[in-house]
Amino acid sequence: EVQLVQSGGGLVRPGGSLRLSCAASEFSLTDHYIDWARQAPGKGLEWVGRSRNKDNSYSTEYAATLIGRFTMSRDESKNSVFLQMNGLRTDDTAVYYCARLLFGEYVDVWGEGTTVIVSP
């Protein structure tokens, strides 16, 4: 079954770091763009960023407020995408989702989400 398996969430202090993982099952991530989105408690969905596919050099885009703190990367050997989050703030508390794009355009598969709690 085609799916995205997420891990890496947890509790972290303000100013700390966390790396989220998004592993692909039954397909190769090298062919696909991956988006990240998040949902803070009681809030709506918020777009976090995009990692393009290998043909596009794994180039990235980020939400303006996250530039400099969040970085996406890939490991082909693990068929995984990572979201490195540094300088975490309490308002980064959210469920984080990764999602696969078809044809580099629209999402067709979502990961199950991983919870990040930033608290003193």
Partner 1 sequence: QMTQSPSSLSASVGDRVTITCRASQGINSWLAWYQHKPGKAPMSLIYAAFNLQSGVPSRFSGTGFGTDFTLTITGLQPEDSATYYCQQYHTFPLSFGGGTKVEI
Question: Which residues in the 3-32 window bind partner 1 by CB under 8 A?
Answer: none
Question: Considering CB under 8 A, how many residues would be counted as binding partner 1?
Answer: 23
Closer to partner 1 by CB, 107 or 117: give it.
107
The DSSP secondary structure of 47-108, one letter per residue, reads EEEEE--GGGTT-EEE-GGGBTTEEEEEEGGGTEEEEEE-S--GGG-EEEEEEEEETTTEEE
Nearest approach, Cβ of residue 27 and partner 1 (Å)? 15
Of the candidate residues 58, 70, 82, 97, the single one contacting partner 1 (CB under 8 A): 97
Of the candidate residues 47, 69, 79, 117, the single one contacting partner 1 (CB under 8 A): 47
Nearest approach, Cβ of residue 64 and partner 1 (Å)? 6
Residue 2 in the binding site for partner 1 (CB under 8 A): no
Residue 37 in the binding site for partner 1 (CB under 8 A): yes
| Cα gap 111→76, rounded to integer Å | 18
Copy the structure tokens of residue 45: 């969905």
Query: Do the Cβ atoms of 114 and 106 come closer than 8 Å?
Result: no
The pairing of strands 114-118 and 94-102 is antiparallel
Residue 1 in the binding site for partner 1 (CB under 8 A): no
Listed ranges 11-19, 20-28, 36-44, 80-88: which one lies at the site for partner 1 (CB under 8 A):
36-44
What's at 90, amino acid-wise? Answer: T
